[in-house]
Structure 1
Amino acid sequence: MEINTRHFLNYLAVERGLAQNTISSYALDLKQFKNFCRRRQVSKAGEITRNVVLNYILELKKSGRSSATIARHMAALKAFCRFLVDEQVLGSDPMANLESPGLPKKLPGVLAQEEVQKLLEQPRVGNPGGLRDKAMLELMYATGMRVSELLTLDLDQVDCEHGYVRCLGKGSKERIIPVGSVARNFLSEYLRWGRAKIKANKGEKALFLNMRGNRLTRQGFWKIIKKYARQAGIAREITPHTLRHSFATHLLENGADLRALQEMLGHADITTTQIYTHLTENKLRETYDKHHPRA
């Protein structure tokens, strides 16, 4: 009998609320693992041992897979094995204490505070599109939301009077993020007259609209931020998440608590948040080298 992953994939969708793309990726990686098990005459999930897992990882390495690919396969297998232990199919976790191959930490691109200021000064707020862009960019820098979270905001998720947004993050987990006075003021103006001038299509609940009255897309946002970066004379590469990364780094530079930042960013694991400490450490080093007389 073949190892069955159907219940596990259903658990990821229903219980953990993972995106379909993530579930599909898990399914493909586990299919490869099942093929390996079939060749090794391992036919039942209860027969998955640490030795089976180690041999599988060794096969991946011998086939020339990159560290990133191996780490992804191991993440899928770890989740599957934890599920099997919880379901009492396995008595112990064969993946326990198995480390993924070391991956270089990719530090995100971050703008200096002066560059953010220049970027946010670019939209012309005298017309509906410019006011929308101003409100959108100010809100993203004020909250550190992911681009996908920003663009899926509906009207009822924003409270300008009390200064917060209700955001649906990864795994459909809701969090409440405070909004500063500057972003709140421009957002109020956009809601007061800018959005109405764009003329939303009937029944459209989206907060940020394109000029055809539909929800603004990620591609649309990408074009907008690239345009304003070019106008601001910012030569470095800009990504849709640049303002999110800048938000996190600037908060840490000004003394924010790492746990509080983790909550605002919606990170499930604080180790994800800790990547920003590398950026602030680099900044401190630069400051020390520049200003200390014996650096």
Structure 2
Amino acid sequence: MGAKSEVRRRKRGDPPLETPPSLEAELSSFLAWIQLEKGLSPNTVESYEADLVQFAGNLAEQGISGWREVGVEHLSQWLSSLTEEAYAGSSLSRKLSAVRMLARYMVGEGVLKEDFTELTNNPKTARLLPEYLTIEEMERFLSAPDLGTPLGKRDRALFELMYGSGLRVSEVCSIPMTAIDPDEGFARIFGKGSKERVVPVGRHACDTVRNYLHGGRPHLVKPGTGGELFLSMRGKAISRKTVWALVKGYARKAGIAKNLSPHGLRHSFATHLLMGGADVRAVQEMLGHADVGTTQVYTRVEAERLLDEHANFHPMARSSA
């Protein structure tokens, strides 16, 4: 069974992932091992393949080009993204089990020196959500791109739209120019399962998108360029891997120590709205969550943060000496 085959069990509306070539050899060997040596059933092997190819595809988006580069932080980022997309706890546990088995196999084969899954506990939804930025950190992050360059204009508009409208990385990479109207202040987004939703686009995001359309995108257009809003230097639609790298790079430039990811911008969007008193149902609609329970996870995370602050700083909450 080849690890390069398309993932057949994905149900979230994303295009099928394939295993990056640099990660394929070890994954193919593992799948052959569990089928031939461990004697697992074809259905079980297929399930492992689907989960592991999905993991490998996410690693590629994070800029990983070999298994020796994988650390617990990369696994945590993947689990965070799955949590945000409302995968059930049982599904997360199954996926983590598959990754653990793969990691142990690669340690046994000498591919890895250490098992990067050892420090990862069983998934707890509230703890798996990506880190979000404070408002002050977000202002620093959004100010990091150089607006004197076409790429800087693109990156500022990209981040303003992701944070200002709560877009997924896959959505912002594929959004066409015709889907956003900066003069009217809204965008039409096709999200998971090709479901359409209309999201508001704030004034700052509208201004930066307009600036990019006038002074950035025209410099990136090449023969054969399509209608996607955000383009790479080659005139193609910007990739998810590129967006991951941009978020990481600008976070470092802004002096942000948190392990920020594209999902973290979406998480910041939801958290800041709820902290400001927004109705959870309205936030659910803007995020495109099918189940309000997924959105309510953000309120639980914020409640935990407030409890921690109270325990740390309120004099009556501290233990007596």
Q: What is the TM-score with the length of structure 1 in the denominator?
A: 0.67
Question: 1:267·1:273 contact (CA, 8 Å) conserved in 2?
Answer: yes
Q: Corresponding residue for 1:146?
A: 168
Q: In the TM superposition, what is the alpha-carbon distance from 1:226 to its structure 2 partner? A: 1.0
State which drifts further: 190-199 or 247-256: 190-199
Equivalent residue for 1:68?
A: 93
Equivalent position to 1:133, from 149, 155, 178? 155
In the alignment, what sits opposite 2:135? 113
**Equivalence for 2:124:** 104
Whether 1:222 and 2:244 are equivalent positions in the alignment is: yes
1:290: Cα distance to partner? Answer: 5.6
Residue in 2 that maps onto 1:265: 287
The answer to whether residue 260 in structure 2 is matched with residue 238 in structure 1 is yes
Structure 1 gaps, min length 5: 1-8, 23-28, 34-64, 74-101
TM-score, with normalisation over the residues of structure 2?
0.61
Return the letter of the residue paired with 1:104: K
The one of 209, 227, 231 aligned to 1:205: 227
Q: Does 1:31 align with 2:53?
A: no
Give the Cα–Cα distance (whole angstroms) in 1 for the partners of residues 187 and 139 of structure 2.
22
State, as a whole percentage, how many aligned pairs show the same letter.
42
Residue 158 of structure 1 is matched in structure 2 by: 180
CA distance in 2, matches of 1:70, 1:134: 35
Aligned to 2:58: none
Deviation at 1:17, TM superposition (A): 8.2
What is the aligned residue count? 220
Match of 1:86 in 2: none
The 8 Å contact of residues 201 and 214 in structure 1, kept in 2 or not, is answered as no
Q: Is the 8 Å Cα contact of residues 200 and 209 (structure 1) preserved in structure 2? A: no
SS of the equivalent of 1:234 reads coil
SS in 1 for 2:262: coil
Cα pair distance change 1:264/1:148, threshold 3 Å: same
Q: Rg: which structure is higher?
A: 1
| 1:19–1:184 Cα change, 3 Å | closer
How far apart, in 2, do the equivalents of 1:17 and 1:186 lie?
30
Q: Deviations over 1:108-130 (max 9, x none)?
A: 21111111111111001011010
Aligned-partner Cα distance in 2 for 1:118–1:271: 31
Structure 2: give runs of 5+ residues left out of the alignment.
1-7, 18-40, 46-89, 99-121
Match of 1:54 in 2: none
The aligned residue for residue 170 of structure 1 is 192
Matched residue SS, 2:172: helix
| 1:284 shift after superposition | 2.3
Query: What amino acid maps onto 1:219 in structure 2?
Result: K
Aligned-pair RMSD on alpha carbons? 3.1
Tell whether the 8 Å contact from 1:122 to 1:231 is kept in structure 2 after alignment. Answer: yes
1:179-194 to structure 2, matched below 5 A, reads: 179-194=201-216
What amino acid sits opposite 2:167 in the alignment? M
